[in-house]
Amino acid sequence: MTIRPEGPHDTAIAALLNTFIDSDPRLDIWHRYPDISETEDDYTDGWACEQVSAEFAAFARKHGWDAVVVHADDPKHPLAFDHAWVRLTRDGSALDVDWTARQFHNLHDSDGNDPAVLTLPWPLAWDPAIVGRHSHPVAGPYDTITLEDR
């Protein structure tokens, strides 16, 4: 999979995302999610949004980006759950990146086949100034946001 640039820092962002994808074949699990094996699904129990986000944030920092893990707690949507993603910043612009957003495939469609989620770009990326600094484009707003830069 190759991510193509579209806007101001997008060439650099695309390069960062593609380099991260190339660096860790395990990411393909989240690209294919929820169409994964039971063994892979069990593996995601210990390698989910928190872990993937921490790894990507560290990777981005090594490649010259300001990157923090966004810990989102207390979702307003009754079926959503606590989640994590990465906020990249450069030259005053921010971009949020979520490698595991497809785990919300059953949030709005009880049979788990929500095409609005399953057809989202992977990784999911958005401008927090547009979506909201305390919001996720699929899960919606969260009451508590903590930024971690370790």
| CATH classification at residue 102 | 3.10.670
Q: Kindly state whether residue 111 falls inside one of the protein's structural domains.
A: yes
pLDDT of the residue at 9: 58
Q: Which domain holds residue 62?
A: 10-148
Question: CA angle, corner 72, sides to 68 and 76, nearest 5?
Answer: 155
For residues 90 and 11, give the distance between their C-alpha atoms in angstroms, rounded to a whole number: 13
Q: Hey, what long-range contacts does 24-27 have (CB within 8 A, 24 or more apart)?
A: 24/55, 27/52, 27/99
Q: Kindly state whether residue 96 falls inside one of the protein's structural domains.
A: yes
pLDDT of the residue at 54: 97
pLDDT of the residue at 42: 95
Q: What is the pLDDT along the chain (150 residues), one digit of tens a residue?
A: 444 445 555 889 999 999 999 999 999 999 998 889 999 999 999 999 999 999 999 999 999 999 999 999 888 887 778 899 999 998 888 999 999 988 877 666 666 677 777 788 899 999 999 999 899 998 889 999 899 986
Provide the number of structural domains found in the chain.
1
Q: Kindly state whether residue 5 falls inside one of the protein's structural domains.
A: no
Q: Kindly state whether residue 3 falls inside one of the protein's structural domains.
A: no
pTM, rounded to two decimals: 0.89
pLDDT of the residue at 100: 92
Contacts of residue 144, Cβ cutoff 8 Å, sequence gap at least 6: 72, 73, 74
Within 10-62, residue ranges assigned H as helices are 10-23, 28-32, 38-44, 49-62
Q: Kindly state whether residue 42 falls inside one of the protein's structural domains.
A: yes
Q: Kindly state whether residue 4 falls inside one of the protein's structural domains.
A: no
pLDDT of the residue at 31: 93
Q: Kindly state whether residue 98 falls inside one of the protein's structural domains.
A: yes
3-class DSSP assignment, residue 106 = coil
